[in-house]
Amino acid sequence: MRRETVIAFAAKLLGCVVAMEACCGAHHMGRTLAARGHEVRLMSPEYVRPYVKAQKNDDRDAEAIAEAATRPTMRFVELKSEEQLDMQTLHRVRDRLVRERTSLMNQIRSLLLERGHIVPQGRARLAVRLAELLDTEEPILRPRIHMLIADMRERWQALDERIASLDAELTEQARSDDRTRRLLTIPGIGALNATALVAAVGDASTFGRGRDLAAWLGLVPRQATTGGKPRLLGITKRGSRYLRKMLIQGARAAMPTLSKGDTRLGAWLRALLSRSHPNVVVVALAAKMARIVWALLRHERTYQPVALAA
């Protein structure tokens, strides 16, 4: 068989993996091929697209994949283990349940609003208001609407129980793994953040430095540089939206306490708050947390806040 044919066949096979990089099938196929002695390299499709010549077809796709794989600066995706995929599946299921609960709560609010019952924001306030409307001897709502709202409240409670069960499972997983226990020492990182980050990152040595991890999560500014004049824009928002959301939420919760601390991180936050919008500072803190996560995973250490010099 000619060398060109071998390269084309291998590239087409690799193309199947590349096309499924975002799903579990790519990593399963990659592990199967690696077990048979093949060297598996997963690439993002956007890195292969510039090597496609003229119009797209299977032969040119195969040629582009083979060409991109030989580039010395090409970035490859690390194969995920079964444990990492299982943890990511737990997070996906939990995130779907949370979205369902939010949608259900919003629908309950809208139905009550149509009948003149305004409910403030917050799950606790909605639960209290539902108790006032449903758990009374004198009916407040019309019978059919009363039954519908009661059924929706039962579905909400069932979702709460399922989410709480997954939270308990993720918390137990975080306590039983050395890497997640190290991440739990970071302010703003809880069991959900720690398990999600460890499952997604895996081997921290894949990233050369902490900024590479922050860039992979889309937490670094976009650049529009021309003529030697750098111009920084908003964050790139590349990578996992779920991980980025979790880090930003953790940074928002931890920022009030961290900004008051007598540490280098606290002084850095106070200086940023004095000249930037709080939302910008929250994203900057999330990027800082991503760098700290890389350092702890790469060097197998725990987080130790550095006090200001006297």
Task: Please name the residues in contact with 286: beta carbons below 8 A apart, sequence gap of 6 or more.
Answer: 219, 244, 247, 248, 250, 251
Same domain, 210 and 280: yes
For the chain, the domain total comes to 3
Residue 17 has pLDDT above 60, yes or no: no
Residue 164 included in any domain: yes
Residue among 179, 174, 201, 170 at smallest CA distance from 290: 201
Residue 212 included in any domain: yes
* pLDDT band per the 50, 70, 90 thresholds, residue 4: low
Which pLDDT score, from 0 to 100, does residue 15 have? 47
Which pLDDT score, from 0 to 100, does residue 260 have? 93
* pLDDT band per the 50, 70, 90 thresholds, residue 32: confident
Residue 100 has pLDDT above 60, yes or no: yes
Same domain, 197 and 283: yes
Q: Between 119 and 18, whose confidence is greater?
A: 119
Which pLDDT score, from 0 to 100, does residue 20 have? 39
Which of 175, 209, 233 represents a domain boundary (last residue)?
175
Same domain, 226 and 205: yes
Same domain, 36 and 95: no
CA distance 279 to 283: 7
Which pLDDT score, from 0 to 100, does residue 108 have? 96
Residue 279 included in any domain: yes
Residue 40 included in any domain: yes
Mean pLDDT of the residues in the chain:
88
Which pLDDT score, from 0 to 100, does residue 42 have? 84
Mean pLDDT computed over 108-123: 92
Runs of H (alpha helix) within the chain: 3-19, 24-35, 45-48, 58-69, 82-114, 123-134, 143-175, 178-183, 191-201, 210-216, 241-258, 264-273, 278-299
Same domain, 185 and 291: yes
Which of 110, 141, 175 represents a domain boundary (last residue)?
175
Task: Please name the residues in contact with 126: beta carbons below 8 A apart, sequence gap of 6 or more.
Answer: 105, 108, 109, 119
Which of 148, 175, 202 represents a domain boundary (last residue)?
175
Residue 153 included in any domain: yes
Residue 291 included in any domain: yes
Domain of residue 151: give its range: 82-175
Which pLDDT score, from 0 to 100, does residue 307 have? 86
* pLDDT band per the 50, 70, 90 thresholds, residue 79: confident
pLDDT digits (tens, 9 = 90+) for 233-266: 889 998 899 999 999 999 999 999 999 999 999 9
Same domain, 148 and 165: yes
Same domain, 293 and 191: yes
Same domain, 135 and 56: no
Which pLDDT score, from 0 to 100, does residue 158 have? 97
Which pLDDT score, from 0 to 100, does residue 40 have? 82
Residue 306 included in any domain: no
Residue 229 included in any domain: yes
pLDDT digits (tens, 9 = 90+) for 181-202: 999 999 999 999 999 999 999 8
Judged by average pLDDT, the poorest of 27-41, 53-67, 112-126, 129-143 is: 27-41
Residue 94 has pLDDT above 50, yes or no: yes
Same domain, 231 and 289: yes
How many other C-beta atoms lie within 10 A of the C-beta of residue 73?
5
* pLDDT band per the 50, 70, 90 thresholds, residue 152: very high
pTM equals 0.83
